[in-house]
Homo-oligomer: A and B are copies of this chain.
Amino acid sequence: MEEVTIKDVARICGVGVSTVSRAINNHPDINPETKEMVMKVIKEHNYIPNNSARNLKRQDARAIAVLVKGIDNSFFSEMIRLMEEEIKRKKYTLVLQHVEFSEDEVDAALELVKEKRLRGIIFLGGYFIHSEEKLAQLNVPFVLSTVGAQPSSYSKNTYSSISVNDEKESYKMVDYLIQSGHRDIAVICAKTTDVSIGKLRLDGYKRALRDNGIPVREDLMLEMKPDIEDYSLENGYMVTKEFLEKKIPCTAIYVISDIMAIGAGKALAEAGLKVPDDISLAGFDGVKIGKYITPSLTTLRQPAALMAKETTTLLFDLIAGRAEHQHMVFEGELLVRESTKAI
């Protein structure tokens, strides 16, 4: 049961290692009979090629990596599935890597590029405030997908991005609430230190209020709690619970993520508030489960499927040299469901 290597296989077969290598990698210049014999021995002896050695030697890996920030973001799982399909269809290998919130995704990418000879990278989520210098080290094409990318701060042609306009979509949602007669609209938002989607979505909220002549009030801007996991059910729940204790009148709560909104909904229910009769509740993202809870959650849906598809298409175009770097912005969709109503 020792580690069997290509040399062992070669010895057993009575051929050279290169012949075995050819058999494994479907090279054309090998006698079909020899190949068959080699493959048989490989099966019998449970030979498995060592990927480290392969990656070390190979030049064309046909691998592309998807780096996902956070481990259980259900919004991303659908996108990943779709990307995986596309990548497989192109006969590429997908290297899926989760990176923790505290980790630096660019560092992770840098390592991975060396290790796996990647042809391209997709970043999913993350805050992406990185030095241009670091980004420049990534000498393979990469696409930032659904991150709150702010192309203006970097030179735009060093990378591509795919996203919705978080500020605008957020505005859309808040404007809808206002048009529905709401004026006292609380928002559950990111910490003020956030400069990514959290900030953008909050910006949209503020602008919508201002455009409608409603003052932006500090006491209605509810920050996520720093000691609880970001964007989590519990965070939404706790923030809402604390807010309700203050008894500040409001007719709607807008939460910048669906998952947190569901947490908020629980706090509302516990306080005896009926959604949407006593108070309206709206989220952002369009996660699947929002449709299945009761009342179903009004949200701003990001076109995940489309974005996933375009992300891979763009990346492959980049790899093939068929495209320049670009920054695609998709339209979100306001999904009015049961959790909000006009007053």
Q: Which of B81, B100, B111, B291 contacts A51 (CB 8 A)?
A: B111
Q: Given the complex of chains A and B, what is the CA–CA distance between A116 and B52 in angstroms?
A: 7
User: Which residues of A in the span 70-122 have a Cβ within 8 Å of any Cβ on B?
Assistant: 71-72, 74, 77, 80-81, 84, 96-98, 100, 110-111, 114-116
Given known pairs A71-B80, A80-B71, A233-B289, the reply for A110 and B48 (CB within 8 Å) is yes
Q: Given the complex of chains A and B, what is the CA–CA distance between A292 and B3 in angstroms?
A: 50
Shortest Cβ distance from residue A262 to the other chain B in the assembled complex, whole angstroms: 5
* Binary contact readout A212-228 vs B (1 if CB under 8 angstroms, 0 otherwise): 00000000000000000
**Most chain B CB atoms below 10 A, which of A72, A136, A262, A269:** A72
A113 to chain B: closest residue by CB: B48
Asked if A40 is at the interface (CB within 8 A of a chain B CB), the reply is no
Shortest Cβ distance from residue A145 to the other chain B in the assembled complex, whole angstroms: 16
Asked if A37 is at the interface (CB within 8 A of a chain B CB), the reply is no
Can you name 19 A-B residue pairings with CB atoms under 8 Å? A1-B136, A46-B110, A46-B137, A48-B114, A50-B115, A52-B53, A52-B55, A52-B115, A71-B77, A71-B80, A72-B77, A74-B74, A233-B292, A234-B288, A237-B292, A262-B292, A266-B293, A269-B294, A293-B293
* Binary contact readout A280-322 vs B (1 if CB under 8 angstroms, 0 otherwise): 0000000011011110100000000000000000000000000
Asked if A263 is at the interface (CB within 8 A of a chain B CB), the reply is yes
Query: For the side of the interface on A, what is the size category?
Result: 35 or more
Q: Which residues of chain B have C-beta atoms less than 8 A from A34's C-beta?
A: none
Task: Determine whether the beta carbon of B52 is less than 8 Å from that of A139.
Answer: no
**Most chain B CB atoms below 10 A, which of A55, A81, A237, A296:** A55
Task: Determine whether the beta carbon of B98 is less than 8 Å from that of A288.
Answer: no
Asked if A56 is at the interface (CB within 8 A of a chain B CB), the reply is yes
Q: Which residues of chain B have C-beta atoms less than 8 A from A116's C-beta?
A: 52
A229 to chain B: closest residue by CB: B81
Shortest Cβ distance from residue A67 to the other chain B in the assembled complex, whole angstroms: 12
Task: Determine whether the beta carbon of B294 is less than 8 Å from that of A265.
Answer: yes
Task: Determine whether the beta carbon of A263 is less than 8 Å from that of B292.
Answer: yes
Known pairs A48-B111, A96-B97 / 14 extra A-B pairs, C-beta < 8 Å: A51-B52, A51-B111, A52-B52, A72-B72, A72-B77, A74-B74, A96-B98, A233-B288, A262-B289, A262-B293, A266-B291, A266-B293, A269-B294, A293-B293
Q: Which residues of chain B have C-beta atoms less than 8 A from A265's C-beta?
A: 292-294
Shortest Cβ distance from residue A115 to the other chain B in the assembled complex, whole angstroms: 4
Shortest Cβ distance from residue A59 to the other chain B in the assembled complex, whole angstroms: 12
A270 to chain B: closest residue by CB: B294
Q: Given the complex of chains A and B, what is the CA–CA distance between A289 and B237 in angstroms?
A: 11
Q: Which residues of chain B have C-beta atoms less than 8 A from A234's C-beta?
A: 288
Shortest Cβ distance from residue A48 to the other chain B in the assembled complex, whole angstroms: 5
Shortest Cβ distance from residue A134 to the other chain B in the assembled complex, whole angstroms: 8
A139 to chain B: closest residue by CB: B1
A1 to chain B: closest residue by CB: B139
A269 to chain B: closest residue by CB: B294
Task: Determine whether the beta carbon of B292 is less than 8 Å from that of A266.
Answer: yes
Shortest Cβ distance from residue A204 to the other chain B in the assembled complex, whole angstroms: 25
Q: Which residues of chain B have C-beta atoms less than 8 A from A1's C-beta?
A: 136-137, 139
Q: Given the complex of chains A and B, what is the CA–CA distance between A266 and B100 in angstroms?
A: 33
Task: Determine whether the beta carbon of B294 is less than 8 Å from that of A266.
Answer: yes
